[in-house]
Amino acid sequence: MRNITLSITDETKNKMESHPEVRWSNAVRVIIERKLNDFRIAEALAQKSRLTEKDVQALSKKVNRAMGKHAKGLLNEGYS
């Protein structure tokens, strides 16, 4: 398995440290894998779609917002 490095603010690091029950690398890995799956699905749909580039950009913003909310929900549940 490969490693990656993320840059976060001191404030974020402090908040993370206040939740030692969370395995943060697992939480981030799950979020990345789900996002990649979303891309896979979107690419499969796009091949059959008649959406314009503008439509795709609007949909992408909605997906990103939804994924962000979902990720926050996972982290707030103490996902590990």
Q: Write 71-78 long-range contacts (CB < 8 A, 24+).
A: 71/31, 74/27, 74/30, 74/31, 75/19, 75/22, 75/27, 78/19, 78/21, 78/22
User: What is the per-residue pLDDT for 32?
Assistant: 95
Question: First CA to last CA across the chain, in angstroms?
Answer: 18
Quick one: tokens of 19?
A: 């939740």
Quick one: tokens of 73?
A: 């929900």
pLDDT tens per residue across span 9-65? 999 999 999 999 999 999 999 999 999 999 999 888 878 878 788 988 999 999 999
User: What is the per-residue pLDDT for 78?
Assistant: 62
Q: What is the model's pTM?
A: 0.56
User: What is the per-residue pLDDT for 18?
Assistant: 97
User: What is the per-residue pLDDT for 72?
Assistant: 86
Show me where the domains of the chain are located.
22-76
